Amino acid sequence: MASPPLIFPSPQEMKQTGATFRFDEHTVIALPAQPAPEDVKLATLLMRDLSDRCGIALQAVRVPAVPGEGRAIVLGSMRNPLVKTEASREELSVTEASPGPEGYALRVTERRIVVAGSDEAGAFYGVQSLRQLIRLDGTNGYATGTDIRDWPVKTFRGIKLFLPGRDNLAFFRRFITDFMSLYKFNKLVLEVNAGMRLERHPELNAGELDFARDLDLTRRDRPKGPRGELQDSAHHDTADRAVLEKDEVAAIVLLASDNHIEVIPEIPSLTHSYYLLARHRELAEVPTAEWPDTYCPSNPKVYPLLFDVLDEYIQVMQPKMVHIGHDEWRTPIDLCPLCKGKDHTELFLADLNKIHDYLAAKHIRTAIWGDHLIEGLRGKGTRAAGRAPNTYTVPGAVSDQQVRSSIPKDILIFNWFWGEGRGSGEVDDIALANWGFEQVYGNFGPGMKNYDVRRARKGVLGGAASCWSATTELNISKDALYDFIGIAPMLWSTQQLPGPELLRNVQSMMPDVRRRLSGQEPSSRFGDPIRTIEVAKTGAASVPIGEDATSLTFVHAAAKPGARSETAKVIYNAADTAELIGAYEVVYADGLIVSVPVRYAWNILARNWPAESGRRDYCCEAEARASDGGTVFAYEWPNPRLGRVIKEVRLRSFVESNPVTLEKIEVLSKRGH
């Protein structure tokens, strides 16, 4: 199968030299006598990585010059005198202009590793590349000899998520430090709603909890309007249907900042405003709705409430930019007595400008989703919606002339309609550019046509991929990693991998990505004996184990592709969005039976993977291996009852048309004394 890339995204300039730097506990990280705080952070980051992943405890030492003998690592920007000296000695071309902002040079020889950043961010990204270079040989760490000169092509390299809940904060920290930073993302759009403790309006927290509880108990992803109208998606699983304290939110922002990531709070306004209206339906455009989603822009009492919410988030998060939504205005225009008969394009503009001006007075930039600027997408003036006999009329887009004359051009537009079939594709990019806006591709993913031309258009700052369900390890690992991994090279180095190559790349990266995101190293990595049971050759329904195993690795495949759906569509039961096609019954000698689910696109794929054109199937919990007649997937299951003998394993296939084939079981035995 495909090997994982040496460094991802691929550096702009890289060559391997054949040398190898081997880490041991005599290796030193050299710091100047009076190191800058950022240099200490970089040293600590590398020390943590080597300790946790390789069991190697390095020391950072303060020295007037890098010692000539022994192995040494020098990290930092050109402000660090040791880096400047070593970069000059190694003839590394690094200045503030070369390789430019966020750029770095990295050289690995047998006795030296030098990371020289053109600025602090560049040094940080150079260390991220070094972290990826470090490989394990048994339990020893080494880095392949490499010369790298690297820099990003886009300044906005983002991911959009919901504010995480308290139970997922540890995972979220790993996602920031061991995914976003590692793959050089620098923007985090964080939808917050009423997921933080709002001291001025505690009723918003209470209303949000009521709303989320009702949708889960009724098994819905969103409510419908009074006549069955389509309302906005609810996003009620923001903060895991709970409330974070302000210090917890502030800690997220601080951690992101330490990792050179700017947090952009998304505080939906006008639309997707369930969190504002659950306890303030008197402000809704349709007060009779079960759960209103849109406030009335003709009601002046809306804005003191909205601005109070903005102020509390601004105080805690100190953002440079706030995303205020404004997408998918679906409200029936004849149900609001205050808005009835008014020009809805003018209402939209007045609302947008009022919020923009409020933020601008605080020196904060505004961002919005841009769909209501595009007449070809939302229609002119108004448009018909629904199905007969329950058709209704909803607001359309503002006109070309209104966009030109009435919308501030410092608003950043999130262009989620970049793909053909979503909008008009490149035509809409051009319109936004001609109007004078800067834009980023929102809900970004691989597969953009004519990307080399489009990314170079004036005002295109970059892009951000999205996960539209709760920020959990399951949701992100199962649904979002294909897009997240797919856009990383597009935004850093312009490289857009073809679909089949990207899919193989994603799957090859899964073992390392999942180790980092889970914070757990697989037990099989540490060199203990493994006994292989060839199951397929015996055809046995029950496989004897007969020992106190540390883990079992099931090497298996499905007969054909299974079903999967996005967790955002079944918010109340995320696990079952990966089709349950079987289970292993692990039978212990004392009689207890533990069931291990086999879920398609979680820990198994089809034997003919990746033959099916157009499917973006990957399984984050298993490693793809070549086998006779196709591909098998190795899923390591850690024994939760260490010290207890596993008697046998039984395979149960649940889908008659898609049986699971168990090729072998790899038994990791208890370590001997």
User: What's the pLDDT at 401?
Assistant: 97
CB burial readout 539-578, b (16+ within 10 A) else e: eeeebebeebbbbbbbbbbbbebbebebbbeebeebeebb
Is the same domain home to 106 and 235?
Answer: no
CB burial readout 413-451, b (16+ within 10 A) else e: bbbbbbbeeebbbbebbebbbebebbbbbbbbbbebeeb
Residue 23, classed as helix, strand or coil, is coil
Percent of the chain at pLDDT above 90?
Answer: 85
673 inside domain: no
pLDDT tens track for 461-517: 999 999 999 999 999 999 999 999 999 999 999 888 888 889 999 999 999 999 999
Domain boundary, last residue among 518, 550, 577: 518
More confident: 552 or 88: 552
User: What's the pLDDT at 421?
Assistant: 74
Put residue 124 in one of left, alpha, beta given phi > 0 → left and psi -120 to 50 → alpha.
alpha
**Domain hosting residue 292, numbered range:** 156-518
Mean pLDDT of 26-53: 94
User: What's the pLDDT at 25?
Assistant: 83
Mean pLDDT of 636-650: 97
Mean pLDDT of 74-91: 92
Is the same domain home to 296 and 199?
Answer: yes
Is the same domain home to 38 and 126?
Answer: yes
Tokens for 215, please give them. Answer: 């949708």
Residue 97: band (very low, low, confident or very high) from pLDDT cuts 50, 70, 90: confident
Percent of the chain at pLDDT above 70?
Answer: 98
Is the same domain home to 504 and 563?
Answer: no
User: What's the pLDDT at 68?
Assistant: 84
Is the same domain home to 39 and 174?
Answer: no
Is the same domain home to 508 and 474?
Answer: yes
In the predicted structure, residue 40 carries a pLDDT above the cut 80: yes
The CATH number for 632's domain is 2.60.120
6 inside domain: no
Residue in the structure block whose two tokens are 């539209």: 468
Beta-carbon neighbour count of residue 171 at 10 Å? 19
Mean pLDDT of 646-669: 96
Residue 269 CA to residue 285 CA, distance in Å, equals 13
5 inside domain: no
In the predicted structure, residue 116 carries a pLDDT above the cut 90: yes
Residue 322, classed as helix, strand or coil, is strand
Is the same domain home to 121 and 222?
Answer: no
Is the same domain home to 64 and 84?
Answer: yes
Amino acid at 597: P
Mean pLDDT of 352-368: 98
Is the same domain home to 227 and 323?
Answer: yes
Is the same domain home to 62 and 173?
Answer: no
Beta-carbon neighbour count of residue 144 at 10 Å? 16
User: What's the pLDDT at 673?
Assistant: 56
Q: Check if the beta carbon of residue 327 is closer than 8 Å to that of residue 371.
A: yes
Residue 530 CA to residue 524 CA, distance in Å, equals 8
Residues shown for the chain: 673
The CATH number for 115's domain is 3.30.379.10
Q: Check if the beta carbon of residue 452 is closer than 8 Å to that of residue 495.
A: no
2 inside domain: no
Strands (E), 209-307: 262-269
pLDDT, the chain, mean: 94
Mean pLDDT of 63-87: 93
Mean pLDDT of 630-651: 97
C-alpha torsion angle, residues 292, 296, 301, 305 (rounded to 10): 50
524 inside domain: no
Is the same domain home to 205 and 336?
Answer: yes
User: What's the pLDDT at 53?
Assistant: 83
User: What's the pLDDT at 526?
Assistant: 83
7 inside domain: no
Q: Check if the beta carbon of residue 183 is closer than 8 Å to that of residue 532.
A: no
Amino acid at 267: I
More confident: 494 or 361: 361
User: What's the pLDDT at 499?
Assistant: 84
In the predicted structure, residue 606 carries a pLDDT above the cut 80: yes
Structurally, the chain folds into a number of domains equal to 3
**Measured at the alpha carbon of residue 621, what is the angle toward residues 619 and 623, in degrees to the nearest 5?**
75
Beta-carbon neighbour count of residue 351 at 10 Å? 22
User: What's the pLDDT at 39?
Assistant: 96
More confident: 163 or 225: 163
Q: Check if the beta carbon of residue 182 is closer than 8 Å to that of residue 516.
A: yes
Residue in the structure block whose two tokens are 């070593």: 86
Q: Are strands 13-22 and 140-150 parallel, antiparallel or unpaired?
A: antiparallel
pLDDT tens track for 374-406: 999 999 989 998 888 888 999 999 999 999 999
Domain boundary, last residue among 132, 150, 168: 150
Residue 403 CA to residue 203 CA, distance in Å, equals 36
User: What's the pLDDT at 492?
Assistant: 97
Give how far Cα 87 sits from Cα of 66, 72, 82, 115, 466, Å.
12, 14, 8, 8, 39
pLDDT tens track for 580-605: 999 999 999 999 999 999 999 999 99
Residue 538: band (very low, low, confident or very high) from pLDDT cuts 50, 70, 90: low
Mean pLDDT of 331-340: 91
450 inside domain: yes
Domain boundary, last residue among 499, 518, 537: 518
Tokens for 572, please give them. Answer: 């109340």
Tokens for 339, please give them. Answer: 């808005």
Q: Check if the beta carbon of residue 104 is closer than 8 Å to that of residue 115.
A: yes
Residue 202: band (very low, low, confident or very high) from pLDDT cuts 50, 70, 90: very high
Q: Check if the beta carbon of residue 214 is closer than 8 Å to that of residue 291.
A: yes
Is the same domain home to 550 and 434?
Answer: no
111 inside domain: yes
Residue 435: phi, psi to the nearest 5?
-75, -15
